[in-house]
Amino acid sequence: MEKDQDYLSGLNPEQRAAVQQLRGPVMIIAGAGSGKTRVITYRVAHLIRHGVDSFNILVLTFTNKAAKEMRERINKLVGAEAKNIWMGTFHSVFAKILRVEADKLGYPNNFTIYDTDDSKSVLRAILKELNLDDKLYSANFVYNRISAAKNNLIGWQEYQGNEQIQIDDSSTGRGQLGLIYETYVKRCYRAGAMDFDDLLFKTNELLKNFPDVLYKYQNKFKFLMVDEYQDTNFSQYLIVKKLAAINENICVVGDDAQSIYAFRGANIQNILNFEKDYPDLKVFKLEQNYRSTQNIVNVANSIIANNKEQLKKHVFSEKETGDKIKVMRAFSDNEEGKMVSEEIMQQRSTKGMKWHDFAILYRTNAQSRSMEEALRKLNIPYKIYGGLSFYQRKEIKDLIAYFRLTFNPNDEEAMKRVINYPRRGIGDTTVDRIIVAADQNGVTPWEVVINPSKFFDGRTSGAVGVFATMIQSFQVITKTMPAYEAAQHIAQHSGLLKDLYEDKSVEGLNRYENIQELLNGIKEFSEREDIEEKGLDVFMQDVALLTNDDNDKNKDADTVSLMTIHSSKGLEFPQVYVVGLEENLFPSQMSLNSRTDLEEERRLFYVATTRAESKLTLSYATSRFKFGTLINCEPSRFLDEIDAQYLELDFSAKPQAAQSSFFSDEREAWSTRSKNSETFSKPKPQPVKTTAMLAKAHIPSPNFAPSDTSNLQVGMEVEHERFGFGKVISLEGNKPDVKATIFFKEIGQKQLLLKFAKLSILPK
């Protein structure tokens, strides 16, 4: 534990002030790289050091990884008291509360938590039963519709009773959504299961309908802290507000400039309007960026300045100025991949860096293809993040389904997954008959399974009976065996381990090794000293709530990281490449219909730029394949919003013959930008050239070569490789930002920034 007198000495004045404001409502606006996690952990430690019982502190995060890191840091400051803090993701904390209070809502305490795949499987079964078109009512669409309703606290009864919702559904030909929602909720309830959205929806229901429960937790959680508050949705906002209502010792930490999850329900208004809920709010702004160079921070600031809806702050860096931000132009998406890969290879070689020092960020997953191809050609190792996580692999889900069924035999999805894996003579027809028999007799499928002779004859009854006996034996052993031994027993006696071991293919070997890795994880869990309950059921509760970034066993591998910008939030890398900066790609075409959507895209760009520590590179292509068709692209308006003094343009790539006419005036569009705020706030997209316009393009002289323009004078005649011949009519500004106004014979007057414009000075 650090000494009392100096444990706050490492904080800057604003960080320290935020840490020392212990009571009342507090909002900490934390700019990118400003030491947010440090402030949260020190504030919790400061609470404990000033007499607050650690059992009365609730800290809510968005990833288990963040919670684990914070708890480890707090432990260094206050010791064992850190174990008593209620700290974790919204879903994990409220799942813990729901397991205690589940009976009030009619659920078993050992309810199953369905992941997205489970939920969609239930929905597919319902759609089949209702004979609905699975293209019109795709499981993905229906799942998202129900999820959005739950996050806005609209239950199936309210959904069916809301006239406007019904009109909207009917207008799209999906008038049965309300019925599907009702059937889905009842099916989950029958299975003793909650989906991820239920963990918040049911918590709201609990706090609303049971005042004694609300009062209990209001008095338990006397101090609340919420990380990444800008990412909260309506459901999360309401829970936090209710819990903090008595004491109002609530501290929210976040950055409105990094609110990028509206597509999954996050509401930026929660942080923008926080002061309306708490008029005596104390606000602290963490504005010093400790991560990035000055140039990177300046670029990020010039980007986000264009958003109207924001909490004003001035982020600054006291690190070195750093390299200018390079902007690379490619003539195709494949060439973009080649340029980025070669740049990474060169940077690693000359600066002695590791592969894991580099990250390539893109707006959509589809953009990874050209990057992957280029990296492979240069034998550069890479890893794509946000792909299939360890716990989503089939073999892992299979074994976990056995665990789930052992603790909750009413879990219909788990039963359907493993009742005939490994094969034991119970086909799909038998499974359908089990489900139908359960519906017709008003019982759960498990009750059919444990009484097979009532519903089946001969061989089928025997096979189902053997399966039921096996699961019942697992239920007995899990009550007496430690987690690891119980898991090992189930893996062996289910036949799963033997089935995988006998598959000698490469894939089979990998699957077998993955099962061993899962068992190793359970072994580690059972040996942890920071938890008291170590049963397999407790491990299962943790697994159900793991977020994608919590289970990467190859996270320390030396590879270039490829990921969407959304996946990169919270991460940092020495060198970052943001690719695909083109109109209709970034910003996305879907975001151009409203200012709200466009501002979220701009915040996404801000997040991308602030991942970089020492070097940031931006790139775009002037043509890209989309749905099998080569389309012309224009540079993103976001590039036009960056102050030119922080940029270094690399337009060295030469177009192929078939592409020579694409966007010939891009470079000059950059040069003619004004740096005043009016231009930044109203970027004008460049017009796409017609064939007739392109036909007028100037063909440079055979001996054309750019001249040194440092001594260019008014009256000189020049040749530009695209605009043709012209005469300098004025010069303004100071070096290196001198602008020349030139009258070109073919196109008229243009203003060019000399450090970028390639001009050949003609002899007198």
Reported in sequence order, the residue ranges of 90-128 that DSSP labels E, i.e. its strands, are: 112-114
Q: What is the rounded CA–CA span in Å between residue 660 and residue 756?
A: 20
Instruction: Exactly one of 38, 404, 611, 673 is catalytic; name it.
Output: 611
Instruction: Exactly one of 115, 195, 228, 395 is catalytic; name it.
Output: 228
Q: Tell me the two tokens of residue 215.
A: 């009062």
Rg of the chain (C-alpha set): 30
Q: What is the rounded CA–CA span in Å between residue 31 and residue 640?
A: 23
Q: What is the rounded CA–CA span in Å between residue 261 and residue 228?
A: 11
Residue 331 exposure: Cα atoms within 13 Å on the Cβ side: 14
**H or E stretch covering 329:** strand 325-330
What is the distance between the terminal CA atoms of the chain, rounded to a whole angstrom?
Answer: 78
Active site residue 258: yes
- Cβ-based burial of 422 (10 A; exposed 0-12, middle 13-18, buried ≥19): middle
Q: What is the rounded CA–CA span in Å between residue 622 and residue 46?
A: 54
Please calculate the CA angle 120-125-128 and round it to the nearest 5 degrees.
125
Reported in sequence order, the residue ranges of 9-89 that DSSP labels E, i.e. its strands, are: 26-30, 57-61, 86-89
Beta bridge partners of 631: 624
Q: Which residues contact 80 (CB under 8 A, 6 or more apart)?
A: none
Cis amide bond preceding 685, omega within 30: no
Nearest CA to 566 out of 578, 552, 554 is that of 578
Instruction: Exactly one of 227, 537, 613, 665 is catalytic; name it.
Output: 227
- The answer to whether 165 touches 159, Cβ cutoff 8 Å, is yes
Distance of CA 518 to the CA centre of its chain: 25
Q: What is the rounded CA–CA span in Å between residue 556 and residue 422?
A: 35
- The answer to whether 579 touches 368, Cβ cutoff 8 Å, is no
Identity (one letter) of the amino acid at 516?
Q
Q: Tell me the two tokens of residue 727.
A: 């005469």
Nearest CA to 557 out of 390, 365, 354 is that of 354
Q: Alpha carbon of 699 to those of 45, 660, 702, 720, 725: distances in Å? A: 69, 11, 9, 10, 11
Q: What is the rounded CA–CA span in Å between residue 196 and residue 210?
A: 21
Q: What is the rounded CA–CA span in Å between residue 743 and residue 641?
A: 26
Cis amide bond preceding 422, omega within 30: yes
Q: Tell me the two tokens of residue 755.
A: 């450090």
Active site residue 37: yes
Active site residue 611: yes
Instruction: Exactly one of 21, 37, 269, 741 is catalytic; name it.
Output: 37
Q: What is the rounded CA–CA span in Å between residue 395 and residue 512?
A: 8
Active site residue 61: no
Q: What is the rounded CA–CA span in Å between residue 545 and residue 550?
A: 10
Instruction: Exactly one of 89, 258, 460, 617 is catalytic; name it.
Output: 258
Q: Tell me the two tokens of residue 601.
A: 């895209």
Q: Which residues contact 452 (CB under 8 A, 6 or more apart)?
A: 460, 461, 462, 464, 465, 468
Q: What is the rounded CA–CA span in Å between residue 565 and residue 128?
A: 37
Nearest CA to 580 out of 531, 625, 636 is that of 636
Per-residue burial over 289-307, b = 16 or more CB atoms within 10 Å of its CB, e = otherwise: bebbbbbbbbbbbbbbebb
SS3 assignment, position 557: coil
Cis amide bond preceding 736, omega within 30: yes
Residue 30 exposure: Cα atoms within 13 Å on the Cβ side: 26
Q: Tell me the two tokens of residue 592.
A: 């151009």
- Cβ-based burial of 652 (10 A; exposed 0-12, middle 13-18, buried ≥19): exposed
User: Which residues does the annotation mark as catalytic?
Assistant: 36-37, 227-228, 258, 611
